[in-house]
Chains A and B, each alone.
Chain A
Amino acid sequence: MMDRRLLRETSVGISAKLWQVSWLYVLMLCALAGVGYVALYSAGGGSPEPYADRHVMRFAIALLMMLGVAMVDIRVIQKLAWPAYAVSLGLLVAVARFGHVGMGAQRWIEFGGLQVQPSEMMKIALVLVLASWFHRASWERIGNPLFLIPPVIAILVPVGLILKEPNLGTAVITAMLGGTIFFAAGVRWWKFLLVALPVPLIARIAYTHLHGYQKARIETFLHPESDPLGAGYNIIQSKIALGSGGMWGKGFLHGTQGQLDFLPEKQTDFVFALIGEQFGLVGGLALIGLLTLIILGGMLIALRCRHQFGRLVALGISANLFLYVFVNIAMAIGAIPVGGVPLPLVSHGGSAMMTVMVGFGVLMSVHVHRDVEFSAVEDRF
């Protein structure tokens, strides 16, 4: 027993670490990317161009990157938490100033041809920072409201910047992600209630400050039929795609909504509708099942981890994945307002794939290094 732990602590032998990687989990990720290939093949009109092949190429690279990250000692990752947060914050500021405008919002910037969405990086950095903060905190200390002020600020600063982009969906997801980690870290119940109670009031005030297109999204969500050719078009077409797919679907490459371009943004935001139209309820439920396994797998990694940092990181990354999945599918079904959130590893899009896979790399690093001990010196509190 001691031998094994020592072996891990010294972090020797890449091959030994690779042995520790949950290859079942990697296999599930590959299956998800495979679903993406099928969906994007049909989004390309029955052709690997222009989406599917690039998707697989990106996934292959991202998979190597993920395994690379998984090999990094989780304690090293913890040391990188604040620097990563600082970089992400800098990029968020930069994107506000120099970023490219997409859908009326500034969301990404380019680094040597590579598009980067700082808000996506920030979510992982935020998970690391919050986990690092609470890793050092005793149960009693967490009960101290003053102790919670720095992490709350760490959440609110990026959320504010993302709101300014403006990207309401990601801002809400980021805030909820932070809240989830607070919850898992053991912040007392009543404190959540204290925050949650004024939310309706804040929402009302916030609504008046929303951008026109954001209001439109909420309006059209509430009454999609009121503007069938305008802002409600996306929701209606997505529901038509899913609904007409029925129980068994129209068959691969036989989805008229997708193949005939009625479904907007089918390769990104509405990829779930594209699958649901072709493979029906059965296909849609299978995909939801696979995603659920991946999310719960991440939660299990958190539960099996022996250190608080790893637990919170794994839980945070799983929660992030869950929020992605939930928002994307709920939007495709028309259960929440449209938000421009991709379906991880299925939607077309390079920068999202990279950040998601870095997240999985960190998750896998937690799994590989689940039994390591953090030095007491580090734990100053």
Chain B
Amino acid sequence: MRRDTKRAGVFTRRALLLMGGQVALLGGLAARLYQVQVVEAPRYRMLSKQNSISARLIAPPRGRILDRFGTVVGGNKVNWSAVLIAEQTNNIEATLDAFSQLVPLDDHDKARIRREVHQHRSFIPVLVKDFLNWDEMARIEVNAPDLPGIAVDAGTTRIYPFGEQLAHVVGYVAPPTEADVATDPQLALPGMRVGRTGVEKYHDMALRGRAGVVELEVNAVGRVIRELDRQEGTPGETVGLTIDADLQHAVVDHLGNESASAVVLDCTNGEVLAMATNPSFDPSLFDSGVPEAQWQEWISNERRPLLNKATEGLYAPGSTFKMAVAMSALESRTLTPTDRIFCRGYIDVGDHRFHCWKRGGHGSLDLYGGIKNSCDVFFYETARRTGIDRISAMAHRFGLGFKLEIDLPAQRVGLIPTREWREAQGHPWEIGDTIVSGIGQGYIQVTPLQLATYVARVATGRAIQPHVTRTVAGDVQPGADMLDWPLMEVSNKWLNLVRSGMWAVVNSPGGTAPQARLPDPRWQLAGKTGSAQVMRVSRAEREDGHFNSANLPWKLRPNALFVAFAPYDAPRYAVSVVVEHGNAGAEAAGPIARDIMMDALTRDPASRTPASPQQVAEKS
């Protein structure tokens, strides 16, 4: 028994020691638990939230674009797409087969669907078919019981009710690229679009809106368990244009099949009422993807349908430039209103002979007569006296060859040359360069929008800037009122003289553009023709006497231009028309300008009450 007592004693001691050790170790665990659950709890709580809460963005609807009277020119249409949720069907192949009985699917589609089903977790919807029409959508919904796993999603797609007619102004949207997504992560949302050209691009940020956020509870594999919170996004703002869609329609009609551009401005405030370019393109194709053949046709077409000729097409202004030359001469006193210049059909400067368009010459003319008859010799001589730098300075003041504050993403500035510019190119300025500049040829290049701006400034004496946006989110943008614009610092005397010359071009017997006279006696139109050569006519051809530019290949014929404002006594509308290779300004561009002006005066969009900001906001 003694033996056992000894053993038992040792056992008891060591058992107690073990118990103490166990309690100490468990106490250590308890302390560590305190460390994790209390001391470090905030950090783990945050990690836990990051684990289980997934914030997802919801795409905001893109803002609408309206014309000045509230007509939708860029809007959204519901777009149905069919998706497949793999976990809701036992047999994906059977579902796809049944689906293709209703809506055809090609093998390419099927292969893509199978691949995507494979790549994603079974509860993630995979796109089966996009851009379903109403019939297809209805067929799918009716047959839903036979299509396990198929669901129809309603998204939006961009529509342009005026299509080609306003394509260059409104622009178009396309799905974002990776570079876009890098600048704005919300673009990664399905259904988000980025404005690529026109107003869609210029006002992209306002139109885009702000994505809403849904906070979702997700499990470890990403399945959504429930919605915790939802903050609706802000829909894109409505943008109201200065454009009158109906007038635009009429202007496009008047351009007919010509490769041409026309701009109609409210010359009191610079609002662009119409800006048309022919030929055009279908802007809605970019949303779903332009077919390759169509794209090739667009970029190989020598009439360049994708180019907004009104702001990006550069043309020599030809005789339409003569008012700028006249004003620079008047202001610099190199010519007085009563000075007379004799035109014998040509002028020799140095060893060069410069011809007037009228072979026999105009005889003695003052400035009024020079504009009325568009006498080239008169303006050769005026330019020679005035010098290129004064002419280009005046042209710049009227917006020619000068960057305009147009609210469109793309414009070309063109060029009114100066001595400095020529010398920077490494050439001396030749006197001959000044002479041809006098009739708007040589290096001079301007856009149709600049021509319209120029005429509007001549007509009103105000330094208006053309613009196409009237309201954003219902707020009228500055510039809608005439008094928003400063007066031109050109004497009214000179302006009036030039205006009267323009009146005579159209309305006085012997003027160069009687075709442009308005048929309605209530209004009178003042205008100026321009026929700008795109190739040099050799002396041999000119002296041959049989030269007729109308017989040239289309690409080599002169561009036909016409600028106009009306009514003469109270100018409201300014119009510029450029018909590419239309040959003669009076014949090709004059009647178009006249018809456009008649429509503008008859419809009178500038005087009619535009959609009020409230109306615009409500309609959106």
Residues of A that sit less than 8 Å from B by CB:
138-139, 180, 183-186, 236-237, 239-247, 256-257, 259-262, 276, 280-281, 284-285, 288, 291-292, 295-296, 299, 302-303, 308, 311-312, 315, 319, 322, 325-326, 329-330, 333-335
Contacts and interface: CB of A to CB of B under 8 A. Distances in A.
Interface of B: 3-4, 6-8, 10-12, 14-16, 18-19, 22-23, 25-26, 29-30, 32-34, 36-38, 40-41, 43-45, 47-49, 51-52, 217-221, 225
A130 B44 CA distance: 45
Contacts of B7: 138-139, 186, 308
Contacts of B4: 308
A296 B19 contact: yes
B41 A139 contact: no
B29 A184 contact: no
Contacts of A261: 219-221
A256 B38 contact: no
B607 to A, nearest CB: 65
Contact of A299 (B3, B15, B36): B15
Contacts of B51: 237, 240, 256-257, 260, 262
A318 to B, nearest CB: 8
Nearest to B26: A292
B219 A180 contact: no
Given A292-B26, A296-B23, A281 B48 contact: no
A180 B18 CA distance: 8
B38 A281 contact: yes
Contacts of A138: 3, 7
B18 A299 contact: yes
A245 B36 CA distance: 9
B432 to A, nearest CB: 76
B33 A284 contact: yes
Contacts of B16: 303
25 contacts: A138-B7, A139-B6, A183-B14, A184-B11, A184-B14, A240-B48, A241-B48, A242-B33, A246-B38, A260-B51, A260-B225, A262-B51, A280-B37, A281-B34, A281-B38, A285-B33, A295-B22, A295-B26, A299-B15, A302-B11, A302-B15, A311-B11, A319-B18, A326-B29, A330-B29
Nearest to B41: A246
Contacts of A262: 51-52, 219-220
A363 to B, nearest CB: 14
A246 B45 contact: yes
Contact of B47 (A244, A260, A329, A333): A244
Closest 10 CB pairs of A and B: A243-B44, A244-B48, A260-B219, A261-B220, A256-B52, A281-B37, A186-B10, A246-B41, A244-B45, A262-B220
B5 to A, nearest CB: 10
Given A139-B6, A243-B45, A299 B37 contact: no
Given A257-B52, A262-B51, A243 B43 contact: yes
Nearest to B21: A322
A322 B11 CA distance: 18
Given A262-B220, A288-B30, A315-B15, A242 B10 contact: no
A61 to B, nearest CB: 29
B217 A260 contact: yes
Contacts of B18: 180, 183-184, 299, 315, 319
Contact of A308 (B11, B19, B34, B52): B11
A326 B41 contact: no
A106 B362 CA distance: 113
Given A240-B51, A299-B15, A276 B33 contact: yes
Contacts of B219: 259-262
Nearest to A315: B15
Interface centre among B34, B41, B48, B52 (most CB of A within 10 A): B48
A281 B33 contact: yes
B121 to A, nearest CB: 13
B37 A256 contact: no
Contacts of B23: 292, 296
Given A243-B47, A244-B41, 18 more contacts: A139-B3, A183-B14, A186-B7, A236-B47, A240-B47, A242-B33, A242-B36, A276-B37, A281-B34, A281-B37, A296-B23, A299-B15, A299-B19, A303-B15, A308-B4, A308-B11, A326-B22, A330-B32
Contact of A288 (B6, B33, B38, B52): B33
Given A180-B18, A262-B219, A308-B11, A257 B48 contact: yes
A186 B5 CA distance: 12
A260 B41 contact: no
Given A180-B18, A326-B26, A256 B48 contact: yes
A201 B45 CA distance: 41
B37 A247 contact: yes
Contacts of B41: 243-247
Contacts of A325: 26
Contacts of B217: 256, 260
Nearest to A244: B48
B36 A333 contact: yes
Contact of A242 (B15, B25, B44, B220): B44
B4 to A, nearest CB: 7
Contacts of B25: 322, 326
Contacts of A308: 4, 7-8, 11
Contacts of A303: 12, 15-16
Interface centre among B23, B30, B37, B49 (most CB of A within 10 A): B37
B218 A139 contact: no
Contacts of B29: 288, 326, 329-330, 333, 335
Contacts of B40: 243
B26 A243 contact: no
A236 B16 CA distance: 36
Nearest to A329: B29
Contacts of B220: 260-262
A333 B32 contact: yes
Contacts of B15: 184, 299, 302-303, 311, 315
Nearest to B25: A326
Contacts of B36: 239, 242-243, 333-334
Interface centre among A186, A240, A259, A308 (most CB of B within 10 A): A240
A311 B18 CA distance: 13
Contact of A186 (B14, B33, B34, B218): B14
Contacts of A292: 22-23, 26
Interface centre among B19, B23, B26, B29 (most CB of A within 10 A): B29
Contact of A333 (B12, B33, B48, B52): B33
Contacts of B19: 296, 299
B52 A260 contact: yes
Contacts of A243: 36-37, 40-41, 43-45, 47-48
B115 to A, nearest CB: 25
A23 to B, nearest CB: 23
A101 to B, nearest CB: 25
